[in-house]
Amino acid sequence: MQLQGRFLGRVVIGLGLLAWGPQPASAENTRIVSIGGSVTEIVYALGAGSRLVAVDQTSLHPPEAQDLPDVGYLRALSAEPILSLAPDLVLVEADAGPPEVLTQLESAGVTVTRMSDEPDIGGVQQKIHQVAAALGLDDLGAELARQVGADHARVIAQVAKVQTQPRVMFVLSAGRGAPLVAGEGTSAESIITLAGGRNAITGFPDYRPLSPEAGVAASPGVILVTHRTMRLLGGIEGLVTLPGIIGTPAADDRRIVAINGLLLLGFGPRTPEAVAELAEALHPGLEVSRR
């Protein structure tokens, strides 16, 4: 069996796993696999990190999550590495998959709990409640959801005072082919709006390759990227010379904003922090109190 990344050499063989029946979600679940960075953050925020036996490659925060075995990438999972850890519960973000792998886990007797994933603060709070319920920690989940909601409301009240809404184009690179831009209904558009900006890309949903014509027509005043995309595209100088970005107001003014990808797009417990950081970058002179 071929295993990847941090998972190599750290497998615990689950004897007799296929004979197990589904286990109820409760505080008794002590062998948990978390798939999805925001879900893993919530587990740790609820004080249940010690119950994790593995995570996926997007689970990078808090740093101690990176010390756990790695079962692969969120959207390209394989059942075997997960089953070999003998989990009694697998928590997954909404876009984890492929679906047949999750079905295979359930057929093997593992409880798989899928989370909703709406890119707004209500969606974050719902995800917190869902994770907490799966862990048997409903009261702690209610308190965490309340605190995140209060922090978010405080940040949004400060952002609401800004007078302008800069046009922002979110650019994402996977390291091959043309970079993608975020259209309508994406988590990138949602975080831009929350931070007092406007998505410069309209007319299509989801993500599409950046074309020279579309980028220039969008006329963004700010280019927003993750730290990883910034590295892949060669830093600021590499970004501002890309077709579709060169010649835009953002490129001319070197207004490139780079933020940690999980923080920016994860829509987890740190979303108020992400909104505050982006708002300060979009509105020079604005200082947002997080607490």
Asked if residue 14 belongs to a domain, the reply is yes
pLDDT for res 178: 85
Q: Which residues contact 248 (CB under 8 A, 6 or more apart)?
A: 169, 215, 216, 218, 219, 220, 223
Asked if residue 77 belongs to a domain, the reply is yes
Higher pLDDT, 11 or 85: 85
> What's the mean pLDDT when you consider all of the chain?
90
Among 123, 151, 179, which residue terminates a domain?
151
Does 89 share its domain with 120?
Answer: yes
Domain range spanning residue 194? 167-259
Residue 53's SS3 state is: strand
Does 197 share its domain with 131?
Answer: no
Asked if residue 159 belongs to a domain, the reply is no
Q: Which residues contact 182 (CB under 8 A, 6 or more apart)?
A: 169, 170, 172, 188, 189, 199, 201, 206, 207
Does 10 share its domain with 44?
Answer: yes
Q: By mean pLDDT, which of 17-31, 95-109, 195-209 is the weakest?
A: 17-31
Indicate if the pLDDT at residue 248 is higher than 70.
yes
Q: What is the pLDDT of residues 144-154, one digit of tens each?
A: 999 999 999 99
Does 92 share its domain with 176?
Answer: no
Higher pLDDT, 22 or 279: 279
Q: What is the pLDDT of residues 77-110, one digit of tens each?
A: 999 999 999 999 999 999 999 999 999 999 999 9
pLDDT for res 289: 82
Asked if residue 278 belongs to a domain, the reply is no
Does 9 share its domain with 147?
Answer: yes
Asked if residue 145 belongs to a domain, the reply is yes
> Domain holding 182: CATH number?
3.40.50.1980
Amino acid at 156: I
Total domain count for the chain? 2
Asked if residue 291 belongs to a domain, the reply is no
Among 124, 151, 178, which residue terminates a domain?
151
Asked if residue 284 belongs to a domain, the reply is no
pTM (2 decimals)? 0.87
Identify the CA nearest to 221 among candidates 248, 202, 182: 248
Does 29 share its domain with 135?
Answer: yes
